[in-house]
Structures are given as C-alpha cells and as structure tokens.
Amino acid sequence: MSDAAPVVALVGNPNCGKTALFNALTGSRQKVANYPGVTVEKKVGPLTTPGGRTVRVVDLPGTYSLRARSPDEEITRDVVLGRTQNDVIPDLIVCVADASNLRLALRLALELKQVGRPVMLSLNMMDIARRRGIEIDADKLSREIGLPVVSSVAVRRGGTNALLAEIDRKLAERQGSTAVQWRAPDASGLRSAQKEADRILAAVVQGQGRPDSLTARADAILLHPVAGLVVLLAILFVMFQAVFAWAEPGMDAIEAAFHWLGGLVEAAPLPDLLKSFLKDGLIGGVGSVIVFLPQIVILFFFILVLEDLGYMARAAFLMDRIMGGAGLHGRAFIPLLSSFACAIPGIMSTRVIDDRRDRLTTILVAPLMTCSARIPVYTLIIGAFIPERDVWGFIGLQGLVMFGLYTVGIVGALAVSFVVKRLIWRGKPGEPFMLELPDYKLPRPRSLAIGLWTRATIFLKRAGTIILSMMVLIWVLASFPQPPEGATEPAINYSLAAKIGSAIQPITAPLGFNWQINVALIPGMAAREVAVGSLGTIYAISGGEEAADKIGQALSSQWTLATALAFLAWYVFAPQCASTLAVIRRETGGWRWLWVTFFYMLALAYVAAFITYRVALALGGG
Amino acid sequence: MSTQSTIALGSARVGFRGRIHAIVAGRVAAGLPASELERRLIELGFVEGADVEVLHQGLFGRDPIAVRVAHTTIGLRRREAMAILVTAGA
C-alpha cells in the first residue's frame, strides 16, 4: 500500500454502520494504530477499486458534527480538515448515513459539503430501511443536497458495488488539493442546516416509516426502570461467570505452554544467568501477562456484542443516575466494567467520555476495580489463612472474603470519585448526559471476529513491548548483584531488590510487612500476580506458581493472620501495576495524572493495610 | 400558540407527545455555557417544529429520560431537557 495512494475517509454519525462498511471494503487487511500524540485509534485499510485504483480507506470516529466534543471527534474534525500531522489528508469524503435514520446524517452531510473537499453520500443499511417501509428517492436526494448519492448494504456481497464505482468516478475527476474552509457553526447556523435537512428529507422520503417495533418491544423491558436494571445485573453476572469460567481452559493451556518453554530452556546447555534471564525474565514475565489473553478476549466478546446490539447506550442510560450519585458519568460504566478484567482496556475505553473532568475521574478510579491479576494473589492468601468453613451454614467463608475484597474495591472507587467531585472539581455542574439510543441490530459474526482480532493483537503487542521491558528491568533488580560463592540463601536475597526491600522496611513495618513481602512487592509492580511467584522464590520454594499450595503452607507458618489480612488490604488499593500507570500517562498526555494516581492509591493502600493490621492485632490475630 | 400549553420537556411525563416550540438554553444551570448546550441539543435533532415523545425514564428521580425526536431516540437528563420547550399534542 503506497503512501501516495489516494485517501478515502468514512465519516458518519455513531451507529450508522460505518465500521461494518469499512470492514466490507477492506476486510481483514485493515491496520489499527494510534494517531500521533493522541490515543484515538487510526483505522486504515487498502482497497482496490473496480477501476484498478489502489485506495487507502480511513474509518473515522462517529460524530454528529465537526464541532468536536471528545478526543475521538477531534480526530474526525482534524482529518477532514487536513489538520493532522500526518499523511492522511482525504481526497474524498464518504459521508455514511443509516438510511433508516437519515435526519441527523443529512445535517452532517450539509456541514461536510461546506468544507470544500469532494464529498459523497452513501446510504447504508438500505435493506433495513426498505423493510421498515422507508423509500428514498436517491436521485432526487442527490439533486436536492448537491452531492453524489449511492446506496449500500455493507453486510451483503456486492452491496458496495455502487459505492466503489462512485469512488472511482470521484477520484478520476479529482484535481490537486482544494482549499478547505470551515468555521464552527453557531446555533442559528446549525438550526437552519437542520431545517434544510428536514426539508430535503420530507421531499425525498416516501412513507413515514414505522418505528422499529422490535426495538420498541425490547425497550419496554430493557429500559423499564426496574426490569431494565434487573436485566442489566443479570447480563453482568453472566459476563463475569464467562470471564472466569470459560477462560480457564485457555489460561491453563497458555500456562502449560509457557511452562513447557521454560522447561526447554532449563534443559538447554546454557550459562545459568542466561537461563535465568530467558526462563524467569522473558518467558515467566511475559507468560504471566499473556495468560490473561483468554479473559480479555471473552470480555471484549461481550462488550463488542453488546455494543453492536446497541445495548451499551442503554446500560449507560440505566446507570447514569446511580453512578451520578458518586460523581461519575453514565458513560463511565463501560470503562469501569472492563476494568474488572484489566484496567488497561478499561482506561483506554474512557475515550467515549466527552468531558475531560469526567474522563479523568473515571481513569483515576478504574485501577481500584478488582482486576483479574489480583485473583491469584487473593486466592493464595485466602487459601493459606482463611479457614475453609461455612458461615450461617451455607456461605463459604473463603468465598465471602473474596467477595468482600471485590466490594471494598468498588466502594473505594465510588468514594474516591465522590471526593474528587466534591473537593477538586467542586461547584462545577456535571457534563450533560446526552446519548442516542440506536435501534437494536443483530451483531455480524464477521465484524465481531475482526473486532476481537484487533483487540487481541493490540494486547499482545503491548505484552511484547512495554510489559516485556518492565519484566526485564525487574529481573535485573531481582538478579543483580549475583550471590557470592557458597551462598546459602536464595539468590534474590543478595540482589538489589532485597536491598530495596530492607531499605523500605521501616516504612512498611507498621503494616506488619516483613522484608520478604517488601521484596515480593517490587516484581509485583510489573504485574500483580507476579508477587505469588516471587514469594515462592524468596521462601526458597521451587516450582513457581503451580506450587501455590506449598507457598501457602510456608506463608501460614511465617506470617501472622494480621500480616496476611494487611497484605490483602494493601493489594486492594496499591498501585501495583506499572503497565496501568504507563497507560494512564499515555491517555492523559502527561506524567501529572500518573503521579496523582500512584500517590493516592499508595496512600489508600497504606492506610487500609495499617488499619487492618492494627484491628486484626487488637482482635488477637497476631 | 398560547404559553399555557407550553411546558419544559424536562418536566414531561412518560407518554407525553408534543412538538418542540423553542430551545431556551439560558434557563438551565447545566455544566455547559448556554450557547454550547443549545448547539448540542440541535446537533441531536432538537429543533423547533420537531415531534417529540417521552418513551422511558430512569428509576431514581425519574431521570434520565429517553425521548423520541422525529425518528431518533435520545437519552438525556431532565436538567438539560428543561431547555427544550414543548407544546402538547401530536
């Protein structure tokens, strides 16, 4: 794909089927990257037109107007106006409209027309419009609006032929670059544009069209004040079950594969230091993160299905008031939900929140949601210290403690956002909640597959770059300097990590932490669950994570119950994840919010662990 | 059109049907300047003369509300909907 190939940009309202059209045009050859300096996804794919022309197609974030309100929409504006610092300056803009929901799209088309670049209008989902009794006179629409108009059915073979032919024709008549002019319209400009759009709509559409009866019937339940919330909770419950239960075979397989790789290295005739680097640093480190791939894929499967269905907007609608009580925006619901799997995709999905303050609050509290990396640590400590018995005859005490840790995380997140709203951004009324609730549509397997594939590759790339380099750094800390000749203690005890552990001993002593815990916390910065393996190393237990039972036995003989509980409280709040912090820095465009997050979480963790330790001691847990 | 039959969409009940009479963003203490709120409402299709129907509302404080505007359904809070003056009857 040559960089000189002409660029065709797809612009349209949210939910207009733009991404389905993009997938139909470019298939799986699309590339997802970030625009320089910002984190909005840049989706580009090659296309060869029937005329033999090679074209680069760009899918831009959905918007109602070029007056951008969120980082996503700013990208759409900047690409359309050619303001970006890169090569994607569109030679042709395809305004994609949902044929069954034309009203707002026509106003956007009128705005795009004013920019001065070549524009055409593609009426997408014509099949659905016809079924709903909407007949559009495309020729008349073209005359009235003054733009070429084609119809398309993205999901059907051959459904994009007319669009492709028109792209060919428009590109053939293209001449040099055009001067671009655009000024943010004022209210009266928007008003008259919408009235013009309404006039055109009345002139070209035959039949009023019935409102989608299936959507109306579904919403009678799904948006019901009580039933809607019950259904939402049920969906969440199934989702969590799936993330934890369905992912298990996949995670076991990945773990086994990395274990096997480690075994290969162990058996190879290599110097010990190189072996340790390959096995503990590379394979163990990266493996401990990649093991979450099945959970992330399953979580995103649910999120993509619910999004394609049109349900996500409803979830935000249902949760807006409830979350608003804690100072969060309704749209924060999805990012926080994703954070239960991993805060990284959660923080990345805060881009849908328009307002910067609302977005920052969500980013700040997302790491408090109990991510799946905490589970191995919780399981280890609970298994070792909490007796396996029932309370009130039917609830397992261990499960209850686990549930309690989740609850503490959620309550902590709500409390922090409440405080942030009241103390830091006090007096400023919240950003309005305004969201289109699109008609329900069945998700397309092909679009789902492409979406999942994209998510998985992004995650794997990150594991191969940022996380890999963190792991190497931590391996170095835990391995150097090397133990002296004839050393009796585990190698890590002589390392830099151990020195750091001892150095911070006075600080963590009030929490009941010994220096071994301090040392385990350092590799735990790469990924929380690494602390399990590190505790194993420090207490000189071979076998790594699968020897969790043995580690548990060692811990229960060496730690008091108070220390164990304080350690759990610490893990609920502590900023024990370098990759999350790195994502926060990237998403907020600076170091400031990274440090804010780091220190507030550290402070919470310290206070929580301190109180837990003291209370447990007082109750005889020493 | 008498002012008697004109109410704010933000105080309408579920099932209300009517037509937009005016957008008066200045009367709302929203988190946005009045001109910005007005523009956002227009961008979502709330313009004078458009038919509206209140379809759903939330559990707490009957907020937010889902409003059918012409052929599109928009969810918004009652506070911002106070800027939309509507006349009953469709």
pLDDT for A283-326, tens place per residue? 877 776 677 788 778 878 888 898 889 898 899 899 888 888 88
To test the contact with chain A by mutation, choose from B47, B53, B54, B68 the residue with the greatest count of A C-beta atoms within 10 A, namely: B47
Tokens of A45: 């794919």
pLDDT band for position B66 (cuts 50, 70, 90): very high
Beta carbons of A559 and A616 less than 8 angstroms apart = no
Tokens of A504: 């911070």
* pLDDT of B17 strictly over 90: yes
Per the model's pLDDT, the better-predicted residue between A244 and B60 turns out to be: B60
> Looking at residue A317, what is its pLDDT?
92
pLDDT band for position A85 (cuts 50, 70, 90): low
Tokens of A564: 């164990």
Q: Closest approach of chain B CAs to the CA of A529, in angstroms?
A: 39
Q: Which residues of A touch B23 (CB under 8 A)?
A: 187
What is the 3-state secondary structure of A59-71?
A: ECCCCCCCCCCCH
* B62 DSSP assignment: G
Identity (one letter) of the amino acid at A112? L
Identity (one letter) of the amino acid at A372? S
Per the model's pLDDT, the better-predicted residue between A358 and A610 turns out to be: A610
* pLDDT of B19 strictly over 50: yes
A283 plus A410 within the same structural domain:
yes
pLDDT band for position A70 (cuts 50, 70, 90): confident
To test the contact with chain B by mutation, choose from A221, A233, A437 the residue with the greatest count of B C-beta atoms within 10 A, namely: A437
In a domain, residue A439? The reply is no
Hey, how many other C-beta atoms are within 10 angstroms of the C-beta on A590?
10
Within an 8 Å CB–CB cutoff, is residue B12 touching chain A?
Answer: no
pLDDT band for position A542 (cuts 50, 70, 90): very low
How many domains is chain B partitioned into structurally? 1
* pLDDT of A622 strictly over 50: yes
Helix (H, G, I), strand (E, B) or coil at A261: helix
Q: Which residues of B touch A354 (CB under 8 A)?
A: none
Neighbouring C-alpha atoms within 13 Å toward the C-beta of B5: 12
B44 to A433: CB separation less than 8 angstroms, yes or no: no
> Distance (Å, rounded) from C-alpha A387 to C-alpha A399?
11
A106 plus A169 within the same structural domain:
yes
Give the chain B residue nearest A185 (alpha carbons): B39
The neighbouring-strand residues paired with B76 are A434, B65
* pLDDT of A444 strictly over 60: yes
| CB contact burial A571-584 (16+ within 10 A = b; e otherwise) | bbbbbbbbbbbbbb
Q: Which residues contact A390 (CB under 8 A, 6 or more apart)?
A: A396, A397
Q: What is the pLDDT of residues A473-506, one digit of tens each?
A: 777 877 778 778 777 777 777 888 888 888 989 9
Place of tokens 């007949």: A135
Q: Closest approach of chain B CAs to the CA of A440, in angstroms?
A: 12
A286 plus A374 within the same structural domain:
yes
Place of tokens 């008697």: B4
A496 plus A401 within the same structural domain:
no
In a domain, residue A443? The reply is no
> Distance (Å, rounded) from C-alpha B25 to C-alpha A519?
58
Q: Give the DSSP per-residue string, A127-168.
A: HHHHHTT-EE-HHHHHHHHTS-EEE--TTSTTTTHHHHHHHH
Given CA atoms A480, A481, A486, A487 in this order, what sign does their dihedral have?
A: negative
Tokens of A497: 């990590």
To test the contact with chain A by mutation, choose from B14, B39, B74, B78 the residue with the greatest count of A C-beta atoms within 10 A, namely: B39
pLDDT band for position B13 (cuts 50, 70, 90): very high
Q: Which of A37, A69, A13, A17 is nearest to A351 (CA)?
A: A69
> Looking at residue A540, what is its pLDDT?
57
> Looking at residue A366, what is its pLDDT?
94
Give the chain B residue nearest A428 (alpha carbons): B31
Give the chain B residue nearest A99 (alpha carbons): B71
Q: What is the pLDDT of residues A260-292, one digit of tens each?
A: 988 888 888 888 888 878 877 778 777 766 777
Per the model's pLDDT, the better-predicted residue between A28 and A401 turns out to be: A401
CB nearest B31 (choices: A67, A195, A432): A432
Q: Which of A537, A526, A525, A530 is nearest to A494 (CA)?
A: A537
How many domains is chain A partitioned into structurally? 3
Place of tokens 């949601």: A369
* pLDDT of A330 strictly over 50: yes
CB nearest B70 (choices: A67, A103, A322): A103
Q: Give the DSSP per-residue string, A533-602.
A: HHHHHHTT-TTGGGGHHHHHHHHHHHS-HHHHHHHHHHHHH----HHHHHHHHHHHTSSHHHHHHHHHHH
% of chain B exceeding 90 in pLDDT: 70
> Looking at residue A277, what is its pLDDT?
82
47-76 of B, contacting A, C-beta below 8 A? 47-50, 55-64, 66, 68, 70-76
Q: Closest approach of chain A CAs to the CA of B53, in angstroms?
A: 12
Give the chain A residue nearest B29 (alpha carbons): A429
Please provide residue A56's backbone torsions phi and psi, each rounded to the nearest 5 degrees: -100, 125
pLDDT band for position B2 (cuts 50, 70, 90): very low
> Distance (Å, rounded) from C-alpha A329 to C-alpha A311?
17
In a domain, residue A441? The reply is no
The neighbouring-strand residues paired with B69 are B52, B72
* pLDDT of A432 strictly over 60: yes
| Ranges A143-157, A172-186, A313-327, A603-617: which has the least confidence | A172-186
Q: Closest approach of chain B CAs to the CA of A82, in angstroms?
A: 23
> Distance (Å, rounded) from C-alpha A321 to C-alpha A302?
24
> Looking at residue A1, what is its pLDDT?
44
Please provide residue B45's backbone torsions phi and psi, each rounded to the nearest 5 degrees: 100, 5
Q: Give the DSSP per-residue string, A479-512.
A: H-SPPPTT--S-GGGGSHHHHHHHHTHHHHGGGT
* pLDDT (average), residues A74-87: 81
CATH code: domain of residue B12: 2.30.30.90
Neighbouring C-alpha atoms within 13 Å toward the C-beta of A355: 21
In a domain, residue A462? The reply is no
Q: Give the DSSP per-residue string, A37-86.
A: TS--EEEEEEEE-TTS-EEEEEEPPP-S-SS--SHHHHHHHHHHTT-SSS
Please provide residue A208's backbone torsions phi and psi, each rounded to the nearest 5 degrees: -70, -25
A202 plus A233 within the same structural domain:
no
> Looking at residue A86, what is its pLDDT?
65
Identity (one letter) of the amino acid at A427? G
CB nearest A103 (choices: B39, B45, B57): B45
Q: What is the pLDDT of residues A543-598, one digit of tens each?
A: 444 555 677 788 888 889 999 999 999 999 998 888 788 888 878 878 899 999 99
Strands A119-124 and A92-98: parallel
> Looking at residue A5, what is its pLDDT?
86
CA distances from B75 to A361, B10, B33 (A): 22, 12, 20
Average model confidence (pLDDT) across chain A: 84
In a domain, residue A434? The reply is no
In a domain, residue A461? The reply is no
A235 plus A333 within the same structural domain:
yes
Q: Which of A153, A125, A148, A128 is nearest to A138 (CA)?
A: A148
Domain span at residue A511 reads 467-618
A195 to B47: CB separation less than 8 angstroms, yes or no: yes
Helix (H) or strand (E) holding B51: strand B51-57
In a domain, residue A498? The reply is yes
A84 plus A23 within the same structural domain:
yes
Beta carbons of A24 and A76 less than 8 angstroms apart = no
* B10 DSSP assignment: G
Within an 8 Å CB–CB cutoff, is residue B15 touching chain A?
Answer: no
Strands B17-23 and B51-57: antiparallel
> Distance (Å, rounded) from C-alpha A566 to C-alpha A564?
5
* pLDDT of A457 strictly over 60: yes
- What is the largest distance, in Å, between two alpha-carbon atoms of chain A? 91
Query: Is the preceding peptide bond at A367 cis, omega within 30 degrees of 0?
Result: no
Q: Which of A309, A115, A325, A116 is nearest to A219 (CA)?
A: A309
Helix (H) or strand (E) holding A435: strand A434-436
Q: What is the pLDDT of residues A116-157, one digit of tens each?
A: 889 999 999 888 888 888 889 999 999 999 999 998 887 777
Q: Which residues of A touch B63 (CB under 8 A)?
A: 320-321
B75 to A316: CB separation less than 8 angstroms, yes or no: yes
* pLDDT of A37 strictly over 60: no
Burial of A460 (0-12, 13-18, 19+ CB in 10 A): middle
pLDDT band for position A87 (cuts 50, 70, 90): low
* pLDDT of A90 strictly over 80: yes
A192 plus A238 within the same structural domain:
no
CB nearest B59 (choices: A107, A229, A438): A229
pLDDT band for position B75 (cuts 50, 70, 90): very high
> Looking at residue B68, what is its pLDDT?
95
* pLDDT of B4 strictly over 60: no
> Looking at residue A460, what is its pLDDT?
81
> Distance (Å, rounded) from C-alpha A321 to C-alpha A318?
7
In a domain, residue A236? The reply is yes
Domain span at residue B54 reads 3-88
Tokens of A307: 């999004």
Beta carbons of B37 and B83 less than 8 angstroms apart = yes
A500 plus A569 within the same structural domain:
yes
Beta carbons of B20 and B84 less than 8 angstroms apart = yes
* pLDDT of A28 strictly over 90: no
Q: Model-level pTM greater than 0.80?
A: yes
A172 plus A256 within the same structural domain:
no
